[in-house]
Structure 1
């Protein structure tokens, strides 16, 4: 039987999902936006928090909503009204990584069987957030299974007006040797960025697959022409399937060696203004998305 444990560490609340022999497990931080703080598959670390940096610095595995990446100057207009988000990327004066990454989530459902463990977590916005005064329910379900782990997002507009959104996820994946690791994805467009990491245009993607990571300092965004991203390392092969209509990919290499952020997104930076990937959630409507992560060792 799969297992679920409640853990408190450094004043934070966590849920740990484990397979029967405890060789595969997922740690989810309820106190920090329901992020996947660690994912171990067959005793191998796959998703990691970056150490010794703090979550405040690296946003490791944060779920990005209502906007992925950045909003320039924190400013946007929607249906004739101007809004101003807090700029938490102070040096570049951008609003960064959405508004749920630091919110507390509560458990509303869980299921343990001989084949999987799942937990559904909820955050409710009552329209009190600066720059985004809209009401919504945000649910995320994590399911640990023999193939890997799945994230299912369900967002419902519970307010009196529509709102704009994009959605993303910011996990850091580890590799024993990142320089000999590669990626595979299908893209026709690479997005250009200015000095503030705001999309300023695009060009035809000339990337040859498999995509070589060696020697690259990455902070690049691409469109995806299908829903599959592969990360091939010496120790494991990983596949992310993004079950949404429009998909984008952000790749980022931090200063820490042998770690890469592979970020599936439904839009790009400054989406509230450039409209790339932007969607509208109408009153009483719901939006659902699944990210399916499978691992072979």
Structure 2
């Protein structure tokens, strides 16, 4: 039993002539059949995640199944969101006395949405296997040439399939034989001026395609953010305690400011969101590092197809380039870092 990293072509059909063929990197634990699949050349997305619990493997992500579907996808499935997640009103913002206009890629609401690293080519800069984990580190170097964002950066992301006992949360006698996925990111200002940044991740979770209406969701203590008709913040609701509720016939497209739910043994403050399947007897736990400059926001979204639920850790509020809520300002040479994880219980 060991951790391995292998590669394979993604999809049987070629991409358009202006795109190189895509390669999928498979991080796998041969002892259980658990694995994660990453496509560096297309936004560095995590396309597949299969984890094990009670002797059963669970496919946990909804994502495109072919290169053609990947190019046509407008749901940002598993996308890394940088230098901003969610929306910027009209794509317009001011920073240090100057106005900027981003490309509007949500035309129906006249907004810029989810940054611009999705679909970009990341480079593999490191891969490692040990008896306890397999990790893949990828990087995207941005020279500062996109419309409305003249601030160079290097975004580095590490996907690590690791022994599930690394977090040592709760009592799980199988932890030393099961895996979890940990994702770490670092956004480095490689320019000569200060720059505004925020980060997010946009996975759609499921249990082997079980209908969302059969699942329950547990959220940490939080404050819901009220959005206007263009999905831009215009208020907040009172504090809510941690709660669990059924997703049956429930529509979600809501950002939250969340409260920490605990601290890891090495002192990291975190919050966890839990998607539960009574039918499978399994809980899917999505964790995010909290604290100053970390992932203190969360968006939950149920797509109309009702086959998954997006649970999106974010470092900042919607329209953060304008309201400044959660926004990080990096000096030249400074980096913003954080981590997330996915595990079964």
Which residue number in structure 2 is paired with residue 291 of structure 1?
340
- SS of the residue 1:183 aligns to: strand
Given that residues 187 and 222 in structure 1 are in contact (C-alpha distance below 8 angstroms), is that contact kept between their aligned partners in structure 2?
A: no
Q: Deviations over 1:105-124 (max 9, x none)?
A: 11111111222100100100
Given that residues 105 and 123 in structure 1 are in contact (C-alpha distance below 8 angstroms), is that contact kept between their aligned partners in structure 2?
A: yes
Which residue number in structure 2 is paired with residue 167 of structure 1?
199
Given that residues 221 and 242 in structure 2 are in contact (C-alpha distance below 8 angstroms), is that contact kept between their aligned partners in structure 1?
A: no
Q: CA deviation at 1:258?
A: 2.9
Distance 2:125 2:242 in 1: 44
Which residue number in structure 2 is paired with residue 239 of structure 1?
285
Which residue number in structure 1 is paired with residue 259 of structure 2?
225
- Which of residues 105, 120, 123 is equivalent to 2:137? 120
Which residue number in structure 2 is paired with residue 45 of structure 1?
59
Alignment size in residue pairs: 296
Structure 1 unaligned blocks of 5 or more = none
Aligned ranges 1:18-97 → 2 under 5 Å: 18-21=28-31, 23-42=33-52, 43-49=57-63, 54=70, 56-97=73-114
Distance 2:233 2:42 in 1: 27
Given that residues 67 and 98 in structure 1 are in contact (C-alpha distance below 8 angstroms), is that contact kept between their aligned partners in structure 2?
A: yes
Pair 1:205–1:179, CA change in 2 (3 A)? farther
Could you state the TM-score of these two structures normalised by the residue count of structure 1?
A: 0.94
Could you state the TM-score of these two structures normalised by the residue count of structure 2?
A: 0.81
Distance 1:187 1:272 in 2: 25
Structure 2 unaligned blocks of 5 or more = 12-20, 165-179, 261-270
| Alignment root-mean-square deviation, CA | 1.8
Given that residues 68 and 265 in structure 1 are in contact (C-alpha distance below 8 angstroms), is that contact kept between their aligned partners in structure 2?
A: yes
Residues 201-210 or 213-222, more deviating: 201-210
Given that residues 185 and 209 in structure 1 are in contact (C-alpha distance below 8 angstroms), is that contact kept between their aligned partners in structure 2?
A: yes
Given that residues 50 and 58 in structure 1 are in contact (C-alpha distance below 8 angstroms), is that contact kept between their aligned partners in structure 2?
A: no
Q: CA deviation at 1:231?
A: 1.7
Pair 1:208–1:22, CA change in 2 (3 A)? closer
Which residue number in structure 1 is paired with residue 4 of structure 2?
3
Which residue number in structure 2 is paired with residue 216 of structure 1?
250
- SS of the residue 2:213 aligns to: helix
Tell which structure's C-alpha radius of gyration is larger: 2
Which residue number in structure 2 is paired with residue 187 of structure 1?
221
